[in-house]
Amino acid sequence: MNDQIFFIFADNILAGIAAFIAIVVWVKTRDISWVFIVIAVIIFYASVIHKTLMFFGIVVSNTAVDMVFAYTPLILVIAALALKAVNNMRR
């Protein structure tokens, strides 16, 4: 139980830092691939918050929501990398 609380605390801190930096990057970027990365990081942070709320029993588990939080960041990262690859091939 104590290990789980430590990991949840560490996940929240690290994901919060990543989301903060992602928002700072979002303000300064015009490249669509970076915007996808930023959105993926923010959705990942939302999934960490959701997992924390589920752990403490504030929110009940929902399979559809869990799937969105699990796969959306990966799909956005894949899209960002594919866009970056296509843009680099054109040069």
- In this predicted model, what pLDDT tens digit does every residue of 28-69 receive, in sequence order? 888 899 999 999 999 999 999 999 999 999 999 889 999 999
Give the count of domains, the chain.
1
Q: Could you tell me which of 80, 83, 17 has the C-alpha nearest to residue 44?
A: 17
Report H helices in the chain: 2-28, 32-55, 63-90
Residue 91 binned pLDDT confidence (cut-offs 50, 70, 90): low
In angstroms, the first-to-last Cα distance of the chain is 53
* Share of residues in the chain with pLDDT > 70 (%): 98
Domain hosting 66: range is: 2-90
Give the pLDDT score at 29.
86
**13 pLDDT above the threshold of 70:** yes
Whole-number pLDDT of residue 1: 64
Query: CA 51 to CA 47: how far, in whole Å?
Result: 6
Question: What sign has the CA pseudo-torsion 14, 16, 22, 24?
Answer: negative
CA distance 70 to 67: 5
pTM value?
0.89
